[in-house]
């Protein structure tokens, strides 16, 4: 088998799957298939279409490094523009010819040196190399609320927004106060007849500006040198490093500065002392995923908006009843309650070498060697896999760094140096011990909050080191950590 002959299958056609397709073609591979369970590309930006949807990464930093976009309308990119950007990129790089939409992979088993895949509704495929680009937050999490089925109005999850439902003049309740809930409140306050935001644990909000780029600026950005100078990419990377250091060192200068900015934002922008205290979090800033918003505090103080901190007792035919006995009459209930963060490839049934089941390997929660690969799962790689970097910075950048690492492993297969390559079990166990130990020192663990970062054992399931350490780890594999098996040579 020569370079480029390998059959490579990518699961998922969101940001990471598109990246994989582009980079594989660039490397000379031609036998590629990208399977997508939905009817089109886009991943989270296809699924989420709620009012106010915005990425909290600055626009020009939320692009592939090789495909900058000079035409963003705002400093923070709106969701619809991001989806359009990915659709244009797919067309430009000819990814359509690799795509198989409405094909949901349900199983993958490694047997006789190849991956064998099954699909919902029938059909199969085989691959020499399998790449999971399924994303992290794609399975909506629904709250358990008594009486939900009794509600006579409209109720839907933020990731399943019903655009057929008119919002103007309606009484709307929004449950959940992560970035999604905050963005929806900001978008709808003043448009709804009345809006209530149901908040169990208030979060720290970092102020941010979200102005518009002028036509002159967008025209100037078509010159790559002008765009690079304007966006200060090196300065942004330094800010990401500062942010990650604030996570791993609660006493760092960056941690103190961000905490002070969040506190000042609350103190200076919420006039009512009662409301201010209701919005004051009881945990250290950065313990939860930091929320960036230019206008939430203004929105929740709108005369036709209200914060509800009383626990929800249940849902009735006409609205939500809280523990204090009050019935909040509503026409629409929006569940901005997030996603299951430990899904990844599941509910696919994965079986690796020697019959090793993914569910067995992940019995204590998802984990992976450096977030990209697994022992006993040869020639299988993940983009934005378990324990990978998360935070308020670009997952596109993270995926590109991971691809640089994965490409070096694939190259060994393509050049015939390995028929099967996977990390040694001892390497992953050593990495996992170090990761857990480091995670216990992060603000996610020590900051006094419960968040979706924490696994079932209360350990943050994220990269617990700095951004620079991540860059170093992704620069080149530690080849001693991998087993390289040649079937013909019996090695």
Q: Does some domain include residue 114?
A: yes
Chain segment 135-155, per-residue pLDDT in tens: 887 889 999 999 999 999 999
Q: 303: which 2 tokens?
A: 């005369």
Is it the case that residue 4 has pLDDT exceeding 80?
no
Nearest to 212 by CA among 71, 73, 80: 73
Judgement on whether residues 131 and 157 belong to the same structural domain of the protein: no
Confidence band of 490 (pLDDT split at 50, 70, 90): very low
Among 335, 356, 390, identify where a domain stops.
335
Q: Does some domain include residue 2?
A: no
Chain segment 390-434, per-residue pLDDT in tens: 777 899 999 999 999 999 999 999 999 999 999 999 999 999 999
pLDDT at 486: 85
Chain segment 421-467, per-residue pLDDT in tens: 999 999 999 999 999 999 999 999 999 999 988 998 899 999 999 99
Judgement on whether residues 390 and 312 belong to the same structural domain of the protein: no
Domain that holds residue 70: 8-138+340-485
pLDDT at 134: 95
Q: Does some domain include residue 359?
A: yes
Confidence band of 200 (pLDDT split at 50, 70, 90): very high
Judgement on whether residues 169 and 318 belong to the same structural domain of the protein: yes
Instruction: State how far the alpha carbon of 476 is from the alpha carbons of 165, 221, 324, in Å.
Output: 51, 33, 58
CATH number at residue 476: 3.50.50.60
Decide if 352 contacts 358 (C-beta within 8 A): yes
Q: Does some domain include residue 15?
A: yes
Among 301, 335, 369, identify where a domain stops.
335
Judgement on whether residues 295 and 192 belong to the same structural domain of the protein: yes
Judgement on whether residues 328 and 225 belong to the same structural domain of the protein: yes
Judgement on whether residues 248 and 274 belong to the same structural domain of the protein: yes
Is it the case that residue 489 has pLDDT exceeding 50?
no
Chain segment 287-341, per-residue pLDDT in tens: 999 999 999 999 999 999 999 999 999 999 999 999 999 999 999 999 999 998 8
Relative to beta strand 105-111, strand 349-351 is parallel
Chain segment 366-400, per-residue pLDDT in tens: 999 999 999 999 999 999 999 988 777 899 999 99
Extract long-range pairs of 125-128: CB within 8 Å, 24+ residues apart.
125/9, 125/33, 125/35, 126/7, 127/7, 127/8, 127/9, 127/33, 128/1, 128/6, 128/7, 128/8, 128/379, 128/413
Maximal C-alpha separation, the chain: 75
Judgement on whether residues 163 and 130 belong to the same structural domain of the protein: no
Judgement on whether residues 417 and 324 belong to the same structural domain of the protein: no
Q: Does some domain include residue 490?
A: no
Judgement on whether residues 271 and 325 belong to the same structural domain of the protein: yes
0.85 surpassed by pTM: yes
Q: 198: which 2 tokens?
A: 């149901």
Confidence band of 228 (pLDDT split at 50, 70, 90): confident
Q: Does some domain include residue 1?
A: no
Is it the case that residue 491 has pLDDT exceeding 90?
no
Q: Show the CA angle centred on residue 105, arms to residues 131 and 120, nearest 5°.
A: 175
Judgement on whether residues 344 and 331 belong to the same structural domain of the protein: no
Q: Does some domain include residue 3?
A: no
Q: How many domains does the chain have?
A: 2
234 three-class SS: helix
Judgement on whether residues 166 and 133 belong to the same structural domain of the protein: no
Decide if 302 contacts 185 (C-beta within 8 A): no
Chain segment 25-36, per-residue pLDDT in tens: 999 999 999 999
Judgement on whether residues 132 and 223 belong to the same structural domain of the protein: no
Q: Does some domain include residue 464?
A: yes
Among 335, 362, 385, identify where a domain stops.
335
Cβ count within 10 A of residue 435: 22
């Amino acid at each position: 088998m020569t370079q480029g002959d390998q059959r490579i299958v990518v699961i998922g056609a969101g940001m990471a799957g598109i990246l994989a397709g582009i980079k594989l073609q660039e490397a000379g591979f031609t036998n590629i298939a990208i399977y997508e369970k939905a009817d089109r590309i886009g991943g989270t930006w296809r699924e989420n279409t709620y009012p106010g949807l915005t990425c909290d990464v600055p626009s020009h930093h939320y692009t592939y490094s090789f495909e900058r976009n000079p035409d963003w309308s705002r400093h923070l990119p709106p969701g619809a523009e991001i989806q359009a950007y990915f659709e244009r990129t797919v067309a430009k790089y000819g990814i359509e010819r690799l795509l198989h939409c409405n094909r949901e992979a349900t199983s993958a088993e490694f047997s006789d040196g190849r991956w064998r895949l099954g699909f919902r509704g029938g059909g199969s495929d085989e691959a020499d190399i399998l790449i999971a680009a399924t994303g992290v937050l794609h399975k909506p999490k629904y709250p358990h609320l008594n009486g939900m089925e009794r509600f006579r109005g409209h109720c839907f999850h933020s990731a399943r927004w019903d655009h057929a439902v008119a919002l103007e003049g309606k009484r709307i309740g929004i449950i959940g106060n992560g970035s999604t809930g905050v963005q929806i409140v900001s978008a709808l306050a003043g448009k709804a007849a009345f809006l209530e935001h149901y908040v169990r644990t208030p979060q720290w909000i970092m102020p941010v500006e979200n102005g518009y780029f002028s036509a002159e600026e967008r025209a100037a950005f078509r010159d790559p040198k002008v765009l690079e100078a304007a966006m200060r990419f090196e300065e942004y990377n330094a800010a990401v490093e500062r942010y990650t250091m604030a996570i791993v060192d609660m006493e760092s200068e960056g941690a103190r500065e961000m905490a002070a900015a969040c506190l000042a934002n609350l103190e200076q922008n919420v006039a009512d002392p009662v409301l201010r205290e209701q919005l004051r979090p009881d945990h250290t800033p950065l313990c939860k995923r930091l929320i960036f918003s230019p206008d939430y505090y203004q929105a929740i103080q709108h005369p036709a908006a209200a914060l509800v901190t009383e626990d929800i007792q249940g849902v009735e035919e006409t609205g939500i009843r809280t523990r204090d006995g009050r019935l909040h009459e509503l026409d629409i209930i929006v569940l901005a309650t997030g996603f299951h963060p430990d899904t990844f490839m599941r509910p696919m049934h994965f079986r690796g070498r020697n019959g090793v089941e993914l569910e067995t390997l992940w019995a204590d929660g998802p984990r992976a060697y450096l977030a990209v690969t697994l022992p006993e799962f040869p020639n299988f790689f993940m983009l934005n896999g378990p324990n990978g970097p998360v935070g308020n910075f670009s997952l596109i950048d993270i995926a590109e760094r991971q691809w640089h690492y994965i490409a070096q492993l694939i190259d060994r297969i393509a050049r015939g140096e390995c028929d099967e390559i996977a990390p040694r079990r001892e390497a992953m166990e050593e990495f996992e011990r170090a990761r857990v130990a480091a995670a216990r020192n992060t603000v996610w663990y020590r900051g006094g909050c419960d968040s979706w970062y924490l696994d079932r054992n209360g350990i943050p399931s994220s990269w617990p080191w700095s951004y620079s350490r991540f860059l170093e780890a992704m620069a080149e594999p530690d080849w001693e950590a991998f087993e390289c098996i040649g079937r013909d040579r019996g090695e």
